Structure 1
Amino acid sequence: MRKKKALSRKLLVLTAGAAIVAPALSPVEGASAKGASFTDVSARYAEAVSYLTSKQITNGLTASRFGTDVSISRVDAAIQLATALGLDPQGAYKSAGFTDVPARGQWAVNALAEKGILSGKKPGTFASHEPITRNEMARLATLAYELKVDEAVTKTAFTDVSLKWAKYVATLVENGIVQGKTSSHFGSADPVKRGEWALLLYNLHKMSGKSFDLTIMHTNDTHAHIENAARKVTAIKEVRGAKPDALLLDAGDVFSGTLYFNEYLGQADLEFMNLVGYDAMTFGNHEFDLGTKPLADFIAKAKFPFVSSNVNFTSDENIKGYQINGISALPKDGTVYGGMIKEVNGEKVGIFGLTTAETKEISSPGKVAFDDYLEKSKETVAAFEKQGVNKIIALTHIGFQDGGGDNDRTLAKEVEGIDVIVGGHSHDQLKEPVLETTGKEPTVIVQANEYNKFLGTLDVNFDKHGKVIGQAGKLIEIDAKNADGTYVLKDDPEAANILAEKYKPAVDEKKKTIVGKSAVALNGERADVRTKETNLGNLITDSMLEKAKTINKNAVIALQNGGGIRASINEGDITLDEVLTVMPFGNSLAIMNITGAEIRAALEHSVKEAPGQSGGFLQVSGLTFTYDSSKPAGERVQTVEVKKPSGYEPLSDQESYVVATNTFTAKGGDGYSMFGKAYQEGRVSEPGFVDWEMFREYLQANPDVAPQAEQRITDVHQ
């Protein structure tokens, strides 16, 4: 069968507590059939209408009326047929040259005409609003679904079917797709009713092979945030209640980020992962932060397998015994495979894993090697296909469009055969799946943000060849609240008991740990960190810059949004609890490669509301700047100097600088569009170190600090 470009057709996504419909394509006609009870659909048409409406091929004319006995126009028939075939409404199709096709149907008519499936009534005229006849229906269906035609047929048993239409009518009748109105009368020139058309498309769908629906739940970058584990367990159970065969996958970075990891080294997270029954996990860079011994212990006790096609543990004494090269159709718990085959409802689904090669520079993997992710992906996809697997999931920890050299967008474009990418590393909150259509077949990309804030859900519809022909996804907010402040998701009793009795007491005690000492009070007052330089802002940005330099020696500047500093710290001992109160969001480190002009624009944005408060006001390290708050916004910055080894030098608009910040700001948060642009262009890498951990490390390395305001930021108007 000819390859058809897939349509991002939205499917029903069942989420915690309720069934919701993802945003659909603009309706072809009338009101949506979602949840409707049509009064004019008899038993004869019920299955066909249900199929068309559930797949968003068409809707009802109204909420209660499908229009079974209403004639379908040629343009509406074209739209429904093109949608059923999975053609892309956003595709670039050659104009068929018809002047009477309404805008809503131009894509469908052009696409079908380009494929030689339909033609106009005469040059330049499609006759969009005329009813389609049964003869025309026969020809359209035969060509669209590439049914085998006996060219020798010149007549049929129907006296009203001429030579022109005989072979098409005969093909449909012989395949049991349509019948005549009587044994001798086909009704060749009769208009086709919407009910008849629904039956036609439904019968063609059944004849051409059953489609396959797959549901995936996914998490990534949870970073030991298990405070809400009991609500997450509830969310997973509710999705499974609606979709019992749903897969549950994790894209890495379970390790590092909260005191639960510091205390339990991933074992607390693992108990909850085992409890809910993950199907597979791949490794994030932070899984290697403490070498490979804690990771080996994690793997050994896991009640699920791991997939990793580009991570080679051969030279690692701790993990090499757990790794089996190649693909397994019977994967064992606590074992690492290049890929695995999971059978879902009789269909084989391939799953393989990838980890960013940046891990060598931003973590501590020791002798673990990281192979080229594109080469290994191509090899693994080919191995799956050799075993007859045509539905393939890449479980990745390389970032959505991370600038570190490997990312999901590039993977989807460069490697043919991957149907779904479940990603991590960049902490992106993809509220809806991203459809990459560069290759012969589309690839769906999803990612569920960070810190167990969301459970990702994805429904994918495959045709019989394993091509994605429909998809819909949603993020379930684990900590969503009702109007009265109660959580929407209730705690799972078993999980809540495990957390409260087994893990939380030790963490609460650890918060009392002293991590440093300050000879002065550290000013993190809201009114100050959002309007001027403070000594706490200086200390935090200094810690950020020092960490960035260990990753990229060319880092010279650090920027911290004032809105990310939430409290002051008194003079004297500094506890972990105080550090976590100052930095409660767990923002991650990002390293940007940006121009001096972009830095200058960012500083202008930082002070645009001065002397008023702004959460986007930047605390800085590695530079000083002056501004005049009396001047118009956008014209306030007067001087900017960057600290180099030889001393401070004027900022050059043309020069590129390596700048550290947090991922929230780097992705354009607080209105920093210049940073967002750099992120979109792949000029931002995300090593992922958490802000409070970097600050704690800095305090531990400098146990008696006394930071001062140093005129890094000066308003010359005051």
Structure 2
Amino acid sequence: MKKKNLRSKKFLNVALTASVATGAVVSLAPTASADSVFKDIKEGDHFYEAVLNLHERQIVQGFGNEFKPYAHVTRAQAAKVIALALELDVKNVKDPMFNDVAKTDWAYSYIAALANKGIVSGYGDEFRPNAPLSRAQMAKMITLAFEFKKEASTELPFTDVNSGDWYAEFLTPLVKNKVTTGTTPTTFSPNGHVTRGQMASFVFRSEKVEVVPENYSLTIMHTNDTHGNVERIPRRITAVNQIREEKPNSLLLDAGDVFSGTLYFNEFEGQADLELMNMLNYDAMTLGNHEFDLGTGPLGKFVKNAKFPFVSTNLDLSKSADLKERFTTEYTSKPEDGMLYSGIVKEVAGEKVGIFGLTTAETKEISSPGEDVVFEDYIEEAKKAVAEFESQGINKIVAVTHIGFQDGGGDNDVTLAKEVAGIDVIVGGHSHDTLDKPYVSTTREEPTVIVQANEYGKYLGVLDVEFDENGKVITHEGNLIDINKKENDQYVLAEDPAALKVLNEKYKPAIDAAKAKVVGKTDVVLDGVRENVRTKETNLGNLITDGMLAKAKTINPNTVIAVQNGGGIRASINEGDITQEEVLTVLPFGNSLALMQLTGAEIKAAFEHSVKEAPTPSGAFLHVSGMKFVYDSSKPAGERVQTIEVKEGDKYVALDETKTYVVATNVFTAKGGDGYTMFKKAYEEGRVSEPGFVDWEMFVTHLNSNSTIPTVEGRIVDAAAQN
């Protein structure tokens, strides 16, 4: 259960029986006469009710039969009164580290309790407990203690208070709520010392003011699965700066997979991305599976050089030689750059937000973390994280996850929201989902808002979320800012000049050289002609799907089929040397690998969809590996597929419509792209996992590992064309 607002709790503890309007002060009749308790207090004194009420509750004491209402109050005495009035826990406190307040001092626990709550602060490493408390200092303590809204005003009636004075914003709410009227109608005497009677009045009147807590608004900017698309970061910086200017109560989070996907990563192993990310001032990042693609060495360097912290509560890196010095299971409110924590606490506009991270356990199978990296149960670790934050009184909790939205790999955000109470927002990654509007899970008592910003730095996600006093999300609005949007052939978002200079002078020359690098060779033309790849089998389509299947088998040996939509193949490759730039022209979209669990019936339906337009060209036309099929384009759509055979060992056997097969494709197609509704259904049912590997990288790897270019060998046959 979320921790209640401290002020609301205090208001209940005062036990007022009258109905209180906002800002109104209610009179409390004393249960005994004051002069029967203290001979120096009489009815009619402005502090009469206050002293008696606080004394009856054992918050203030007298000196025998005297209260001494006009004696001055010290800072330590004030701390005790306020701590008792708020009913703070004064036994379990953290040392505020004031060198003039020893743990054996009578006031230590009261001062510590208030310091822990941010109600009091010292003068550097001193608190000065025996110094008299000024009225200005009291205004600040009371405002913070009773959670009045700070508000600077030019309408204060006091001639000795200016709107620019440091205490004006604390004094204004006290005047508005009639907690004080000043020492005279026109003076407040900010430097005057607070008397015992005044202090009782301040506390007593504050308790009787019903504070209607204001809702808290927070903006969360988020990115995920950027995969080395460094050239978009200068425009992202512009977008982030614009949001921060408009909405200063904001966080910037990344949900992992900065590594792998472009030549920038191949050349610089994440350091190009990192230098520009450091210019963005991220608040936190979690680790994705691809951060481990090159083992832990490059990742260790990435973490070390980061000017922001990392979070992942289900990772144990204590035995990793490259990461153990950067790893701690701590939950901290003072995170250091280049460190990986279980969770961190960020204070935004006076409110604390707990942030923890999760990394998919699939990483063990789809990347190269090594034996020294341990993945713990993400549900159990998330529950521990929420419990830790709530024990600190934090009721706004954000999970930054790299487990997928509805990914079928065994962990995902929808399940997380269902199984773990107390998470307010999930900033997700891994599945590359384009959540134009946030997804709201309502399976728990309080809602959980889930966001994700597609892939490759195409978007900056922006979530505006409003919390009530108990940390419950009551309203939200989210959208994706298109980083690549153009008007009149110009980007709408300008490129940040400093970032662009770093990109162009430090990194881009090496990339231009890498594009010209020869990555393979072919003795024949690889046919990627648009009309051909959208209507029939080609040697290039076979080569692409063979590479996809080979990679998929290293992840899941049960994978038997690979399919590639013809619309994803954009050019041919001529005979001779093959450059990296040519490969990127053929496969320009950077589509990543997905593994689908499909029934034979669903596979048959997919191939009916593949050839329904034939012989008219269609981007949905599928190239295949590990199987072959015959269709008849002269028959009605939906009745064209004649036979489908799947390769098992060295021979082909008929497709079993009742059997489940593991089929590799790209994420675009797996999510229903080009009209594949049967794939989309499998994705939504959690039957699709996304190990990630980018299409052009799989193509180059396969090209270099095989000396034979496949021919057109009858994998796809149109019976009508044979007649």
SS across alignment from 1:403: coil
Q: Counterparts of 1:466 and 1:350 in 2: how far apart (Å)? A: 11
SS across alignment from 1:383: helix
Partner of 2:666: 662
SS across alignment from 2:230: coil
Q: Counterparts of 1:519 and 1:705 in 2: how far apart (Å)? A: 10
SS across alignment from 1:228: helix
Partner of 1:467: 472
SS across alignment from 2:330: strand
The Cα offsets for residues 452-493 of structure 1, whole Å up to 9 and x where unpaired, read as: 0000000010000000001000000000011x1111111111
TM-score normalised by L of structure 1: 0.71
Q: Which runs of 5+ in 2 are unaligned?
A: 5-176, 179-208
Residue type at the aligned position of 2:599: T
Partner of 1:394: 399
Q: Counterparts of 2:615 and 2:714 in 1: how far apart (Å)? A: 16
Q: Are 1:408 and 2:413 counterparts?
A: yes
Partner of 1:162: none
Superposition pairs of residues 33-52 of structure 1, within 5 angstroms: none
Aligned residues of 1:217 and 1:249 also touching (Cα < 8 A)? yes
Q: Counterparts of 2:468 and 2:210 in 1: how far apart (Å)? A: 11
Q: Counterparts of 1:369 and 1:2 in 2: how far apart (Å)? A: 31
Aligned residues of 2:217 and 2:249 also touching (Cα < 8 A)? no
Question: Which one of 587, 600, 606 corresponds to residue 604 of structure 2?
Answer: 600
The Cα offsets for residues 130-181 of structure 1, whole Å up to 9 and x where unpaired, read as: xxxxxxxxxxxxxxxxxxxxxxxxxxxxxxxxxxxxxxxxxxxxx99xxxxx
Aligned residues of 1:436 and 1:443 also touching (Cα < 8 A)? yes
Q: Are 1:674 and 2:682 counterparts?
A: no
Considering only aligned residues, what root-mean-square deviation do their CA atoms show, in Å?
Answer: 1.6
The Cα offsets for residues 79-138 of structure 1, whole Å up to 9 and x where unpaired, read as: xxxxxxxxxxxxxxxxxxxxxxxxxxxxxxxxxxxxxxxxxxxxxxxxxxxxxxxxxxxx
Aligned residues of 2:2 and 2:390 also touching (Cα < 8 A)? no
SS across alignment from 2:394: coil
Q: Are 1:364 and 2:368 counterparts?
A: yes
Q: Counterparts of 1:583 and 1:559 in 2: how far apart (Å)? A: 15
Q: CA deviation at 1:273?
A: 0.8
Superposition pairs of residues 581-660 of structure 1, within 5 angstroms: 581-660=585-664
Q: Are 1:417 and 2:417 counterparts?
A: no
Q: CA deviation at 1:638?
A: 0.5
Q: Are 1:708 and 2:711 counterparts?
A: yes
Q: Counterparts of 1:505 and 1:632 in 2: how far apart (Å)? A: 54
Question: Which one of 516, 519, 524 corresponds to residue 520 of structure 1?
Answer: 524
Q: Counterparts of 1:588 and 1:684 in 2: how far apart (Å)? A: 13
Partner of 1:717: 720
The Cα offsets for residues 544-570 of structure 1, whole Å up to 9 and x where unpaired, read as: 000000000000000000000000001
Aligned residues of 1:517 and 1:705 also touching (Cα < 8 A)? no
Q: Are 1:455 and 2:460 counterparts?
A: yes
Q: CA deviation at 1:325?
A: 1.1
Q: CA deviation at 1:381?
A: 0.5
Which structure is larger by alpha-carbon Rg, 1 or 2? Answer: 2
Q: Counterparts of 1:507 and 1:588 in 2: how far apart (Å)? A: 21
The Cα offsets for residues 424-457 of structure 1, whole Å up to 9 and x where unpaired, read as: 0000000000010000100000000000000000
SS across alignment from 2:663: strand
Residue type at the aligned position of 1:623: M
Superposition pairs of residues 8-407 of structure 1, within 5 angstroms: 207-366=211-370, 367-407=372-412
SS across alignment from 2:557: coil
Aligned pair count reads: 518
Q: Are 1:562 and 2:566 counterparts?
A: yes
Residue type at the aligned position of 2:578: I
Aligned residues of 1:519 and 1:705 also touching (Cα < 8 A)? no
Partner of 1:64: none
Q: Counterparts of 2:321 and 2:550 in 1: how far apart (Å)? A: 32
Q: Counterparts of 1:584 and 1:376 in 2: how far apart (Å)? A: 39
Aligned residues of 1:520 and 1:707 also touching (Cα < 8 A)? no
Q: CA deviation at 1:518?
A: 1.2
Change (3 A) 1:301 1:715: same
Q: CA deviation at 1:326?
A: 2.2
Q: Counterparts of 1:2 and 1:446 in 2: how far apart (Å)? A: 22
Partner of 1:19: none
The Cα offsets for residues 173-210 of structure 1, whole Å up to 9 and x where unpaired, read as: xx99xxxxxxxxxxxxxxxxxxxxxxxxxxxx994321
SS across alignment from 2:560: strand
Q: Counterparts of 1:700 and 1:511 in 2: how far apart (Å)? A: 17
Q: CA deviation at 1:231?
A: 1.0
The Cα offsets for residues 315-359 of structure 1, whole Å up to 9 and x where unpaired, read as: 110100101112001000000100000000110100000000000
SS across alignment from 2:609: helix
Q: CA deviation at 1:423?
A: 0.2
Q: CA deviation at 1:403?
A: 0.1
Q: Are 1:432 and 2:437 counterparts?
A: yes
Change (3 A) 1:571 1:635: same
Q: CA deviation at 1:599?
A: 0.3
Q: Are 1:573 and 2:580 counterparts?
A: no
The Cα offsets for residues 558-592 of structure 1, whole Å up to 9 and x where unpaired, read as: 00000000000011111111111100000010000
Q: Counterparts of 1:228 and 1:467 in 2: how far apart (Å)? A: 35
Residue type at the aligned position of 1:554: N
SS across alignment from 1:325: coil
Partner of 1:683: 687
Q: CA deviation at 1:705?
A: 3.2
The Cα offsets for residues 243-295 of structure 1, whole Å up to 9 and x where unpaired, read as: 12310000000000000001111011001111010000000000000000100
Q: Are 1:481 and 2:479 counterparts?
A: no
